[in-house]
């Protein structure tokens, strides 16, 4: 591979305003000191991930085609496809380079990336100057290639993706058979990454993979938290397990909960994402309790638990508003398939969208649980003052659910890459673009939960059904097609009383 300097010049890290007037930027955070001094609104800094991984897919393809010659089958990107960064050294084939590029550029979070990337379990130490373990390379290449194959309609790439997936699975199995290799961070990273590949299969395959990742986390034991890489990986596995448990109608695993308690002794438990994950495990158990309550517990007791969780989530919303707020906007005449009711919200980056929407998902779960519980209580004999209180609580909950659903839907345009981040506001793409590499993965569960909400109007639910079907047909996310069947059933009139509690493969 040619030296990096052959492909790129030195890139300025100055803010946009300082670059425009060619002045020295002090690069202070959160805003440049020069902009503060001149009372200008700082436009922010370039994506640090782009400064490490340059946008060089076209160069990679060109060099690949030159090596392979005109007689071989050539795989290229369409002109409107987002390109990917320069791959790390040590990769073998051009398809490895292309797949890893696409994965890093579209799935891994940059500090200020706008419409791509929402994962953080691969630590910053893995950069373009680092050596990737072969197993992790194969995992990332498999995911990148299958996402690229699906979004660009290239079956040849899908064939290579399957081959890389098989290679990665074999390497993972070999690592798991070794007492020393099985507990390495790179092994768990590979296992988590391969879980994304299962999105093109079905929920059962993905859930089985998530449970395997959770078992590996538990097997790694308490000592794993001696490395900083363990925490984002644990967060990812915990988040995936919450989704599996909620959909399958199961409580959160006790052994993973105990490991969460151990992890909390080694990290800042006041961080928003950690606090959110801890609340998510409680929401999972609340949902399980409500689903399976046969009057063993008074509904008033479950209502109290739900109210406590609702207050905790409201507190997290308050923190998010201060740390990573968003701006609500409108696009009159925008494509209704993207801008529902012409609304879109602008976030700092896709990681912010993920955290906000994860919080909203949990709040929807809790509010629908409260709604269901209150309905059960209202069916009993109550004194007038208590009945009035319950009825008002039901109205308040329905208003909250309506707002949460609208807020999630308003994140779709930026997730699709049709609008940019807050620092790039004013720039939109008028022509709908192809679904980017991570949008469907990031938005599937958010839209699924929203579509199942008990207060969802049929027109909006139809819009969500169409988006999930787009993820399935246009981005190859088969699981979205499986999940959307629940929403279609609800829209046709079944499970209207509390669909969030009874839909899914394990109905009460």
State how far the alpha carbon of 166 is from the alpha carbons of 142, 198, 408, in Å: 9, 12, 36
* Cα–Cα distance measured from residue 432 to residue 466, given in angstroms and rounded to the nearest whole number: 15
**Could you identify the residue written with the tokens 């689903």?**
291
- 112: nearest Cα among 351, 306, 327, 315: 351
CA angle, 182 as apex, 180 and 186 as ends, to 5°? 105
Percent residues over pLDDT 70 in the chain: 77
On the 0-12 / 13-18 / 19+ scale of CB atoms within 10 A, 321 is exposed
Element (H, E) at 144: helix 134-152
| pLDDT tier for residue 109 given thresholds of 50, 70 and 90 | low
Topology classification of domain 13-46:
CD2-Gal4 (4.10.240)
Q: Is the pLDDT of residue 251 over 90?
A: yes
Q: Is the pLDDT of residue 66 over 70?
A: no
Element (H, E) at 249: none
Element (H, E) at 3: none
* 380 torsion bin: left (phi>0), alpha (psi -120 to 50), beta (else): beta
The string of pLDDT tens digits covering residues 2-41 is 333 333 344 566 787 787 777 888 877 667 888 888 878 7
The string of pLDDT tens digits covering residues 133-163 is 788 889 989 998 988 888 888 888 888 999 9
CA angle, 91 as apex, 86 and 94 as ends, to 5°? 75
**Could you identify the residue written with the tokens 């398939």?**
337
Interhelix angle 384-409/350-378, nearest 10 degrees: 160
Mean of pLDDT over the chain: 79
DSSP 8-state code for residue 108: B
At CB < 8 A and 24+ separation, what contacts does 375-378 make? 375/497, 375/498, 376/299, 377/299, 377/300, 377/303
Q: Residue range 422-447: average pLDDT?
A: 63
CA angle, 87 as apex, 86 and 88 as ends, to 5°? 125
- 101: nearest Cα among 88, 124, 85, 77: 85
The contacts of residue 47 (CB under 8 Å, 6+ apart) are: 110, 111, 112, 113, 114
**What's residue 73's pLDDT?**
38
Element (H, E) at 343: strand 343-346
Backbone angles phi and psi of 330, in degrees to 5:
-135, 150
* Cα–Cα distance measured from residue 217 to residue 127, given in angstroms and rounded to the nearest whole number: 24
Backbone angles phi and psi of 127, in degrees to 5:
-120, -175
The string of pLDDT tens digits covering residues 343-395 is 999 998 888 898 999 999 999 999 999 999 999 999 999 999 999 999 999 99
pTM of the model: 0.78
Q: What residues does each domain of the chain span? A: 13-46, 95-267, 269-422+433-507
């Amino acid at each position: 591979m040619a030296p990096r300097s052959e492909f790129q010049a030195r890139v300025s890290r100055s803010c946009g305003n300082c670059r425009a007037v060619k002045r020295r930027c002090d690069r202070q955070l959160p805003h440049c000191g020069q902009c503060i001094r001149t009372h200008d609104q700082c436009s922010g800094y370039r994506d640090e991930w782009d400064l490490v991984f340059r946008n060089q897919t076209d160069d990679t393809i060109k060099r690949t085609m030159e090596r392979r010659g005109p007689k071989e089958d050539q795989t290229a990107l369409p002109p409107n496809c987002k390109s990917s960064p320069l791959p790390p050294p040590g990769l073998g084939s051009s398809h490895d380079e292309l797949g890893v590029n696409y994965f890093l550029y579209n799935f891994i979070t940059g500090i200020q990336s706008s419409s791509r990337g929402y994962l953080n379990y691969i630590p910053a130490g893995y950069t373009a100057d680092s050596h990737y373990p072969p197993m992790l390379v194969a995992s990332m290449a498999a995911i990148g290639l299958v996402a690229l194959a699906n979004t660009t309609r290239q079956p040849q790439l899908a064939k290579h993706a399957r081959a890389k997936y098989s290679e990665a699975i074999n390497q993972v199995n070999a690592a798991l058979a070794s007492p020393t290799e099985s507990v390495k961070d790179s092994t768990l990273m590979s296992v988590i990454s391969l879980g994304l590949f299962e999105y093109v299969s079905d929920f059962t395959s993905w859930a089985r993979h998530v449970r395997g990742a959770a078992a590996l986390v538990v097997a790694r034991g308490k000592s794993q938290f001696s490395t900083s890489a363990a925490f984002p990986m644990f967060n990812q596995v915990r988040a995936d397990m919450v989704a599996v448990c909620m959909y399958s109608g199961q409580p959160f695993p006790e052994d993973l909960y105990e490991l969460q308690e151990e992890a909390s002794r080694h990290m800042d438990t006041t961080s928003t994402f950690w606090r959110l994950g801890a609340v998510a495990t409680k929401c999972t158990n609340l949902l399980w309790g409500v689903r399976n309550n046969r009057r063993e517990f008074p509904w008033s007791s479950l209502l109290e638990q739900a109210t406590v969780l609702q207050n905790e989530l409201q507190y997290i919303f308050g923190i998010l508003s201060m740390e990573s707020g968003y701006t609500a906007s409108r696009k009159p005449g925008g494509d209704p398939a993207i801008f529902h009711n012409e609304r879109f919200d602008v976030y700092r980056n896709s990681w912010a969208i993920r955290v906000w929407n994860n919080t909203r998902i949990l709040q929807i779960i809790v509010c629908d649980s409260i709604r269901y519980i209150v309905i059960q209580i209202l069916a009993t004999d109550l004194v007038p003052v208590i009945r009035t209180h319950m009825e008002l609580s039901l109205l308040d909950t329905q208003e909250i659910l309506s707002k949460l659903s609208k807020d999630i839907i308003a994140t779709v345009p930026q997730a699709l890459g049709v609008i940019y981040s807050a620092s790039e506001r004013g720039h939109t793409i008028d022509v709908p673009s192809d679904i980017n590499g991570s949008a469907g993965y990031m938005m599937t569960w958010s839209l699924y939960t929203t579509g199942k909400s008990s207060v969802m109007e049929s027109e909006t639910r139809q819009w969500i059904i169409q988006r999930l079907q787009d993820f399935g047909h246009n981005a190859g996310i088969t699981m979205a097609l499986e999940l959307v069947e629940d929403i279609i059933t609800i829209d046709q009139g079944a499970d209207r009383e509390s669909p969030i509690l009874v839909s899914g493969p394990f109905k009460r």
